[in-house]
Chain A
Amino acid sequence: MLTYVVHRLLVMIPTLIAISLIIFIIIQLPPGDYFESYIAELQSQGESVDMAKIEFLRKEYGFDQPILVQYAHWALGMLQGDFGYSFEYRLPVSEVVGDRLYLTALISIITIIFTWIVSFPIGIYSAVRQYSWGDYTLSFLGFVGLATPNFLLALVLIYIANVFFGTSIGGLMEPQYIGKPWTLEKIGSVMEHIWIPVVVIGTSGTAGMIRRLRANLLDELEKQYVVTGRAKGLPPIKLLLKYPFRIALNFFFADIGTILPSIISGAAVVEIVLSLPTTGPMLLTALRSQDMYLAGSFLMFLAFLTVVGVLVSDLALAALDPRIRLQGGATR
């Protein structure tokens, strides 16, 4: 097991380095740097430009150095918790970001748990009762859920909530809690609001997982040991729970790796539609104003979340399935 964990961690490092390189290239792609457009903007407004300060910032963030040094500066800084400087906000990125990172992580984790809770019973039901009316209905709903883009779903949900319940479902907590320290009431308020984005983000992932779980379990149910068990008179429930179910459980953890990127990118858009105080909306504003360091850090963070999530799911899978940890190879 230990070798597997070490191996898996080592594989993660080059992946993260490659991702950070790609993101850095994206940051650098727009012509000119932020200061040029900043100076131009100030001059067009007829304000004086404090060249000394700008020169200082340029030095501080290594804009005068070759591109590789800049990259090293950025990447090493991130390792130490220094995510660069947001020119838009005149603050270090880590201060701008604040709670948002945790909220995004929280929403993603809750969404995964929601996905599990919903898709597990449904997947098992539609596999065991294959071709029943329930199976058809659920499969069709799953198809629709899979096909409907979740930001559109969010829009429709806003409309429905507005028309039928008269509530506004934007935001993640009651306005009076914003900017306040975390208390029990605040947590309660967040919990009241969080289910909407969770449902919206989770829909497509849930639908996909139900379909795959059903297919996997169906394969398993056709195998001979199930027939043998049935022939020997095992009660159906016990027969289901004792073997096929356990094997489907493995797949359950493995599948998180598949749906996590889509959950995180779905989350980014849904958060924008619902205007949640999380990373998505801020990523959008950062991209719009070409505040590239802020945007880059967000991208890096989202990618990091994905990679770590996949890692966790792989490790959980290895803990469950001896075949994987004994071979010691990466599964994906």
Chain B
Amino acid sequence: MSVAQGGADAGQARHYVSQEPFDPHSVEQLAPEQERYYMASQWQLMWWKLRRHRVAVFCGILLLFMYGSVLVSEILAPYQLHSRHTNYIYSPPQSVHLFHDGEFIGPFVYGWSYRLDMETLRRNYSEDRSTVHRLRFLCLGDKYDFWGVIPGRFHLVCPPEGATLFLLGTDRLGRDMLSRIIYGARISLTIGLIGITISFSLGLVIGGMAGYYGGRIDSVVQRVIEIFRSFPELPLWMALSAILPVTWSPILIYFGITAILGLLDWTGLARAVRSKLLSLREEDYCTAAMLMGARPRRIIARHLLPGFMSHLIASATLSIPTMILGETALSFLGLGLRPPITSWGVLLNEAQNINVVALYPWLMLPVVPVIVLILAFNFFGDGLRDAADPYR
């Protein structure tokens, strides 16, 4: 600066041509952040946008945890799914204490026993404040078969020796509700995933055909969707699951119910795919692919679908809760899964009776994870959908 000014003061500017090779990018160079932004793939953009949506991220993490717990249900649950405690039928939730007589002991439970009320024949459970049982962590407890294959005894937390740990109470057979809820997650959570896989593929294929070919196929598909939509959903599910043969094994019933939920749910997705394809197939790149002799399947799958796949996945996320709820409702009514397969709906089936609700309200606790899961899916799906929309 000072040099240039000095030159101006002297009344002459020196002529100067640089012999160095000139690279235009050195002038118009994007800042590293800018470059990162412009070169980012669609998925990366989506991720960045999603990350800013606090609630959605929180719910996503929550969902990750829930699905993660499904992998290790056996270890997380203090008891095994079917272990009965005939001395502790309909026990209310036990509380965990930290201090005994003003002295810090660490998590422990007091002794737990009941007296039978001879008039109402109710078991009144009470704590025995004199005995202290410390909880055991990372310990050996109830035997189980990990994923039904590997035998094991390792648990995250076990009931103390000679005492019980019913954090959420027990049911009519003295089975620990908390353990059953943890195991139930395995069924309830996977039903949604399998169901959505079925309905997603159906929606893609049917909606794709309707949108790509248009014309007669399109109007037939439209009619079919209309008819499906004018059915009240739940009664139809009820009817279909009622006709699953009684002779089927519980695991077959599980797949049957999932298939029913998936087979009736594709309509919304098919509509979305269809309307999108109807406009996209007029694009030049689609015509080009056609002229090059690509077959419809390839055009739909390679050229058209990827354009709005992210959006589809977001809407699929939003329809998972419908399926989970469908299964819960069906099992709750006794038309869905059957024991020994345990889902949250099967657990809630025991809370169907008004008396049970009044006397043993903790049997309703499986409602809580259902509602949390549904809310988490809804918020996460909403955030995902916002993030997938590139024009906002």
Q: By the criterion CB–CB under 8 Å, are B230 and A269 in contact? A: no
A60–B334 CA distance with the chains assembled, in angstroms: 33
- Is B22 engaged at the interface, CB distance under 8 Å to the other chain? no
- Please give the distance in Å from B120's CB to the nearest CB on chain A: 16
A287–B229 CA distance with the chains assembled, in angstroms: 22
- Is A94 engaged at the interface, CB distance under 8 Å to the other chain? no
Q: By the criterion CB–CB under 8 Å, are B229 and A261 in contact? A: yes
- Is B232 engaged at the interface, CB distance under 8 Å to the other chain? yes
Q: By the criterion CB–CB under 8 Å, are B243 and A269 in contact? A: no
Q: Give a binary string over B141-166; 1 marks a CB under 8 Å from any A CB, 0 the rest.
A: 00000000000000000000000000
- Is B128 engaged at the interface, CB distance under 8 Å to the other chain? no
CB interface residues, A 114-171, toward B, < 8 Å? 143-144, 146-149, 151-152, 155-156, 158-159, 162-163, 168, 170
CB neighbours of B223 from chain A (8 A): 14, 18
A149–B369 CA distance with the chains assembled, in angstroms: 12
Q: By the criterion CB–CB under 8 Å, are B357 and A15 in contact? A: no
Q: By the criterion CB–CB under 8 Å, are A26 and B239 in contact? A: yes
Q: By the criterion CB–CB under 8 Å, are B329 and A168 in contact? A: no
CB interface residues, B 348-392, toward A, < 8 Å? 348, 351-352, 354, 357-358, 361, 364, 367, 370-371, 374-375, 378-379
- Is B341 engaged at the interface, CB distance under 8 Å to the other chain? no
**Per a CB cutoff under 8 Å, which of A155, A290, A306 touches B242?**
A290
- Is A268 engaged at the interface, CB distance under 8 Å to the other chain? yes
Q: By the criterion CB–CB under 8 Å, are A159 and B245 in contact? A: no
A22–B240 CA distance with the chains assembled, in angstroms: 11
Q: By the criterion CB–CB under 8 Å, are B375 and A147 in contact? A: yes
CB neighbours of B229 from chain A (8 A): 261
- Is A320 engaged at the interface, CB distance under 8 Å to the other chain? no
CB neighbours of A287 from chain B (8 A): 238-239, 242, 335
Chain A residue at minimal CB-CB distance from B376:
A147
A295–B351 CA distance with the chains assembled, in angstroms: 25
- Is B211 engaged at the interface, CB distance under 8 Å to the other chain? no
Q: By the criterion CB–CB under 8 Å, are A15 and B329 in contact? A: no
CB neighbours of A23 from chain B (8 A): 239
- Is A172 engaged at the interface, CB distance under 8 Å to the other chain? no
CB interface residues, B 321-352, toward A, < 8 Å? 321, 325, 328-329, 332-335, 348, 351-352
Given A15-B226, A31-B245, A302 and B354 contact (CB-CB distance below 8 Å) = no
Chain B residue at minimal CB-CB distance from A287:
B242
Residue among B234, B332, B375 having the largest count of chain A Cβ atoms under 10 Å: B234
CB neighbours of B105 from chain A (8 A): none
Chain B residue at minimal CB-CB distance from A28:
B243
CB neighbours of B321 from chain A (8 A): 147
- Is A262 engaged at the interface, CB distance under 8 Å to the other chain? yes
- Is B233 engaged at the interface, CB distance under 8 Å to the other chain? yes
Chain B residue at minimal CB-CB distance from A305:
B232
**Per a CB cutoff under 8 Å, which of A19, A26, A31, A298 touches B230?**
A19
Q: By the criterion CB–CB under 8 Å, are B232 and A268 in contact? A: yes
Given A15-B227, A147-B374, A149-B325, A273 and B352 contact (CB-CB distance below 8 Å) = yes
Q: Give a binary string over A85-114; 1 marks a CB under 8 Å from any B CB, 0 the rest.
A: 000000000000000000000000000000
| Chain B: interface residue total (CB-CB under 8 A) | 40
- Is B61 engaged at the interface, CB distance under 8 Å to the other chain? no
Chain B residue at minimal CB-CB distance from A307:
B230
- Is B38 engaged at the interface, CB distance under 8 Å to the other chain? no
**Per a CB cutoff under 8 Å, which of B236, B325, B357, B371 touches A162?**
B357
Q: By the criterion CB–CB under 8 Å, are B243 and A162 in contact? A: no
Given A26-B239, A295-B239, A284 and B333 contact (CB-CB distance below 8 Å) = yes
CB neighbours of A143 from chain B (8 A): 375, 378-379
CB interface residues, B 70-96, toward A, < 8 Å? none
Residue among B235, B328, B361, B379 having the largest count of chain A Cβ atoms under 10 Å: B235
A288–B325 CA distance with the chains assembled, in angstroms: 20
Given A159-B358, A159-B364, A306 and B231 contact (CB-CB distance below 8 Å) = yes
Q: By the criterion CB–CB under 8 Å, are A288 and B334 in contact? A: yes
Given A26-B240, A30-B243, A303 and B234 contact (CB-CB distance below 8 Å) = no
- Please give the distance in Å from A263's CB to the nearest CB on chain B: 8
- Is A29 engaged at the interface, CB distance under 8 Å to the other chain? yes
A146–B231 CA distance with the chains assembled, in angstroms: 20
Chain A residue at minimal CB-CB distance from B335:
A287
- Is A209 engaged at the interface, CB distance under 8 Å to the other chain? no
**Per a CB cutoff under 8 Å, which of A19, A148, A288, A332 touches B231?**
A19
Q: By the criterion CB–CB under 8 Å, are B351 and A155 in contact? A: yes
Q: By the criterion CB–CB under 8 Å, are A149 and B374 in contact? A: yes
Chain B residue at minimal CB-CB distance from A12:
B230
CB interface residues, B 202-260, toward A, < 8 Å? 223, 226-227, 229-236, 238-240, 242-243, 245
- Please give the distance in Å from A299's CB to the nearest CB on chain B: 6
Q: By the criterion CB–CB under 8 Å, are A151 and B332 in contact? A: yes
**Per a CB cutoff under 8 Å, which of B234, B328, B358, B378 touches A266?**
B234
A159–B329 CA distance with the chains assembled, in angstroms: 18
**Per a CB cutoff under 8 Å, which of B227, B231, B328, B379 touches A149?**
B328
Chain B residue at minimal CB-CB distance from A14:
B223
**Per a CB cutoff under 8 Å, which of A147, A156, A265 touches B235?**
A265
Q: By the criterion CB–CB under 8 Å, are A261 and B374 in contact? A: no
CB neighbours of A148 from chain B (8 A): 371, 374
- Please give the distance in Å from B142's CB to the nearest CB on chain A: 30
Can you identify 27 A-B contacts, CB atoms within 8 angstroms?
Answer: A15-B226, A22-B227, A22-B231, A29-B243, A30-B245, A144-B375, A147-B371, A149-B370, A149-B371, A155-B348, A156-B367, A158-B354, A162-B354, A170-B354, A261-B230, A262-B233, A264-B232, A265-B232, A265-B233, A268-B232, A269-B234, A273-B352, A283-B235, A288-B335, A302-B235, A306-B232, A307-B230
Q: Which 6 A-B pairs have the closest CB atoms?
A: A265-B234, A265-B232, A287-B242, A264-B232, A147-B374, A162-B358
Additional pairs, 17, CB under 8 Å, beyond known A155-B357, A168-B354: A19-B230, A30-B245, A146-B378, A147-B378, A149-B329, A151-B332, A152-B328, A155-B367, A158-B357, A159-B364, A261-B231, A262-B233, A268-B232, A269-B333, A302-B235, A306-B230, A307-B230
